[in-house]
Copies of this chain bind each other. A is one copy, B any other.
Amino acid sequence: MAFLFQSISGSVTAPLGFRASGVYCDVKRLGTGKGSNKTVDLDMALIAADEPCAIAGLFTTNQVCAAPVKRCLEQIKDGKGQAIVVNSGNANACTGDRGKNDAATMASETAKHMKINPDHVYVASTGRIGLPLPMPNIKRGIRASVAALGTGEKEARAAAEAIMTSDTHPKEFAVEISTPTGPIRIGGIAKGAGMIDPLMTPDGKPPGPRELHATMLSFLTTDVSISQSMLQQALTVAVNGSFNSVTVDGDMSTNDTVLIMANGRAGNAEIKSTRSALFKVFQEGLSQVCVELAKMMVRDGEGASKFVTLRVSGAKTDADARAAGRAVANSLLVKTSWCGGDPNWGRILDALGYSSARIVEESVDVAYSAPGSEKRVYSLRGGRPTRVTFKRLCAEVARDEFDLHIHLNLGKGQAVIHTCDLTEEYVDFNKGDLSNPAALGG
């Protein structure tokens, strides 16, 4: 069988049978004293399927999780969904019983206007922590977003804009896969620029020792026909290789959520097994969409000036490779050296040494390359500096995007982590604006 992958324009409305909208309801700017701008301050998104479909999700493993996340965790057990409603500007986190009720009301209001089952409506929120949702505004937004639903790229773009907080631009990606039984499509939107270090699992429970991690949201749609359990499995693999492998600042959010709806409109025979050829193809397509969206998040990291892909290999285990990569990716001294264009291998070795991964100093190789290139320039071999000149190494780090290869020479464990540098702008942005309490976010 021949399969052809092709990236296509648009996002969540690219697959057949989905509609989307993004509207303004004055949550994001509420109380900030800043004038609202209905064009740029969209703050409520809705993604809807024409009929109930299979839904799968992954959620933050933060023990302090937002009311909408708690609701999703309960709902996802049923595996059926028809709509995802999302507000930005207020995380509905640390809001107690009122928060739970407000999340339920968001679902029931959406269901009422769409005339669908409220149990099939999923809710997500992002923004300030600890403030109750302004429900009159939210209700107005829901009514407007249902009215604005459309199948066009314009509506999908509006949804992508409406979920933004500190993002500087909307994030969308879609692929079409040609199969012998016809094309299938996968599309998604995402947001996140700070408090980014997600570790999401299907049940919100950490897979092992809890790691340091930040709000990111991503919502995906596909018209493939697939069972809910296969959909969940594919999403878990795709998220582990994408969103769960990026870090901006090492702060894991209370609201991280990824959801995907699959409606079967592509008309293929339902995927029920990982052994099916179509499953593998779908997995590859979904992983590609998630990786592209995750990279967009890191490139848009608060204050970030460089995009770095850490490629760790030769670790004792994959878990060790990940731990080693995360220590380097989250080291303030390494991140600030990138900001300064400094190929400081001492800080890299230092961070590797304090990671939980097994390291033998005399075995560590460190090299730079252009993104995805095989042509490596080594700064360290066997734990010792090479003869490559400082000037040459500076040229590698001077790139806006580069790959940093770390080979531990101890085993076969591998990991890839996408991250960014730490700049004065990050600090300035996150210091907040005391003259404007409502603008101080989580």
**Residues on A facing B (Cβ under 8 Å):** 61-65, 91, 93-94, 96, 128-130, 194-195, 199, 209-213, 249-254, 327, 330-333, 336-337, 339-342, 344-347, 349-356, 358-362, 383-385, 390, 394, 422-424, 426-428, 430-434, 437, 440-442
Contact = CB atoms under 8 A, between A and B. Distances in A.
In order of increasing CB-CB distance, the 5 nearest A-B pairs are: A129-B346, A340-B431, A64-B353, A346-B442, A336-B430
18 contacts: A94-B346, A94-B384, A96-B362, A130-B346, A195-B333, A209-B209, A249-B333, A251-B331, A251-B347, A251-B350, A252-B350, A252-B353, A254-B353, A336-B432, A339-B427, A340-B433, A346-B442, A424-B428
A337 B430 contact: yes
A154 to B, nearest CB: 34
Nearest to A195: B333
A351 B96 contact: no
A344 B428 CA distance: 15
B349 A94 contact: yes
B340 A430 contact: yes
Given A337-B431, A430-B336, A342 B440 contact: yes
A94 B431 contact: no
Given A333-B249, A339-B431, A430-B333, A350 B437 contact: no
Nearest to A255: B350
Contacts of A353: 62-65, 252, 254
Given A337-B431, A431-B339, A213 B354 contact: yes
Contacts of A209: 209, 356
Copy tally for this chain in the complex stands at 2
A431 B424 CA distance: 10
A332 B251 contact: yes
Nearest to A334: B251
Given A64-B352, A337-B431, 18 more contacts: A62-B350, A64-B349, A64-B383, A94-B349, A96-B362, A96-B384, A130-B346, A194-B333, A210-B354, A213-B354, A250-B330, A251-B347, A251-B351, A254-B353, A332-B426, A332-B430, A340-B434, A422-B427
A247 to B, nearest CB: 11
A434 B342 contact: yes
A137 to B, nearest CB: 20
Nearest to A61: B354
Nearest to A355: B210
Contacts of A93: 346
A332 B249 contact: yes
A434 B339 CA distance: 11
B251 A64 contact: no
B350 A195 contact: yes
A317 to B, nearest CB: 15
Contacts of A330: 212, 250
A303 to B, nearest CB: 9
A431 B342 contact: yes
Contacts of A351: 251
A434 B350 contact: no
B130 A333 contact: no
Of the candidates A344, A385, A433, the one having the most CB atoms from chain B within 10 angstroms of its own CB is: A344
Contacts of A349: 64, 94, 129-130, 254
B390 A354 contact: no
Contacts of A337: 430-432, 440
Contacts of A250: 330-332
Nearest to A429: B336
Contact of A350 (B96, B129, B341, B346): B129
A359 to B, nearest CB: 5
Contacts of A63: 352-354, 358-361
Nearest to A423: B427
Given A62-B354, A327-B212, A424-B424, A347 B442 contact: yes
Nearest to A197: B354
A205 B428 CA distance: 38
A433 B195 CA distance: 29
Contact of A437 (B210, B390, B422): B390
A309 B342 CA distance: 33
